[in-house]
Structure 1
């Protein structure tokens, strides 16, 4: 029986009449992925870069999210074409690649996510969830339609090259990472520093100049709202592990006044 895949994040952004809002799953837990998926967010970012995730746990989280309206994106740990191929074969339709600072690096990412002759993604969809084991009509011929590719700008060099990165064919948008960007600017841990915010907003302008959506990570509510006002197409505003940590701390502070959280 033919199967039709869900719309990509690229398509969802294009159809949206407001910025899309999402959260991270950094626990590696499919249970937490489902909790987050059912909470009303637009986007679920499954992290392989800083979270204890391998292929099997990512697959379990994709399964957990598949029954909900949320759009899952997988952040791969690097631009390694083998990892990109494996994650796409798991059935991830949307990927985010960290630490992209030049147009050439972006071109390499785009090539890794597309089948020949446009790219160099390995052919294995008949054996994989990506093409639902040959149940998605013309998956190989239409592979690029079923995948959206976003790159993360996290360095001073990346900000300087933001427009050329965003303009690379096969890159569907850029995403700003203020944490590593602040470190690259000599402002480690100061994600909301005015200079960091200004660099993010310059990158927004660069992306919009070539007509691609721009996103950003912002857990501070005031900063997140400012980025939305500055034109962010999508924004990530929290993570499962952070939400759980702060929730436990609030409980401890309320019921155990002498606890570290309540001291």
Structure 2
């Protein structure tokens, strides 16, 4: 794919429904979270918190295809951007996720440029890629007609690749250089396991710090956005200020619920 092809970074398409893309392009530092619980009501509750996007976790979450569709519809209807973290990179998985009307994909454990190129290829309509069309749902999630969606999807959908392994870190420069990759996202737990051999990272390990810095530098070098997962708002604030990330995801629904109850019970039982 030619680097001159319009992407989410260069698009001039204006769609107010695309909250996450619009905030990224304006430099507003959007905040997201992961959703792992299969429930349309959970999707609505989380979407009404003020978040800019929700990553529907079909990799590790308890979310099948039907729940994935329901979550995307609920989230996008409330003016928040739904992304799908897919469970793999095959064309059928990527197509099925995009056919929900998601505003983008998050693809785990991308280890080299060839894998990134395949993700882009299967996420773009012809002539740029091999994505097929046959569903009315994608356009609904973007507030468009199907012809309008097909004209704009190639340059407005966010393609986010996760760097989570030693191999991914070694190849991150060529991964970030792939046209059509919009955002490089750090999965700190899998990255720590791969680089250090344990989870979670303490955060001060030289190998871990070096890996993080290399990923962020590669994104900046190739004009791509960068992001990562953090545990709380305090860390989000410091990571934005000190590391220059463009987007952060603050934990997920399961941890948020557990942490609230644990904290409140400790107070109640003192």
Give the 3 Å change call, closer, same or farther, for CA 256–211 of structure 1 in structure 2.
same
Once the two structures are superposed, residues 75-98 of structure 1 have per-residue CA deviations (whole angstroms, 9 ceiling, x without a partner) of 111112101101111111211010
Q: TM-score, normalised by structure 1?
A: 0.87
Q: 1:199 aligns with which of 211, 214, 217?
A: 211
Give the 3 Å change call, closer, same or farther, for CA 24–55 of structure 1 in structure 2.
same
| Structure 2 unaligned spans of 5+ | 1-14
- 1:112 is matched with 122
- 2:138 is matched with 130
Which structure: larger Rg?
1
1:186 partnered with 2:196: yes
Distance 1:9 1:112 in 2: 22
- 1:6 is matched with 17
- 2:44 is matched with 34
Q: TM-score, normalised by structure 2?
A: 0.85
Distance 1:63 1:138 in 2: 18
Deviation at 1:103, TM superposition (A): 0.7
Distance 1:8 1:80 in 2: 27
Give the 3 Å change call, closer, same or farther, for CA 77–117 of structure 1 in structure 2.
same
Q: May I ask how many residue pairs the two structures share in their alignment?
A: 251
8 A Cα contact 1:5 1:146, kept in partner:
no
Give the 3 Å change call, closer, same or farther, for CA 235–192 of structure 1 in structure 2.
farther
| Structure 1 unaligned spans of 5+ | 258-263
- 2:245 is matched with 232
Query: Per residue, is there more helix in 1 or in 2?
Result: 2
Of stretches 196-205 and 30-39 in structure 1, the one that deviates more from structure 2 is: 196-205
- 2:79 is matched with 69
Deviation at 1:223, TM superposition (A): 4.5
Give the 3 Å change call, closer, same or farther, for CA 103–112 of structure 1 in structure 2.
same
- 1:100 is matched with 110
Distance 1:107 1:157 in 2: 16
- 1:142 is matched with 152
8 A Cα contact 2:86 2:108, kept in partner:
yes
1:209 partnered with 2:218: no
CA root-mean-square deviation: 2.2
8 A Cα contact 2:23 2:29, kept in partner:
no
Deviation at 1:151, TM superposition (A): 0.6
1:145-160 paired onto structure 2 within 5 Å: 145-160=155-170
SS of match in other structure, 2:265 = helix
Deviation at 1:205, TM superposition (A): 1.0
Distance 1:172 1:196 in 2: 23
Distance 1:7 1:13 in 2: 10
- 2:26 is matched with 15
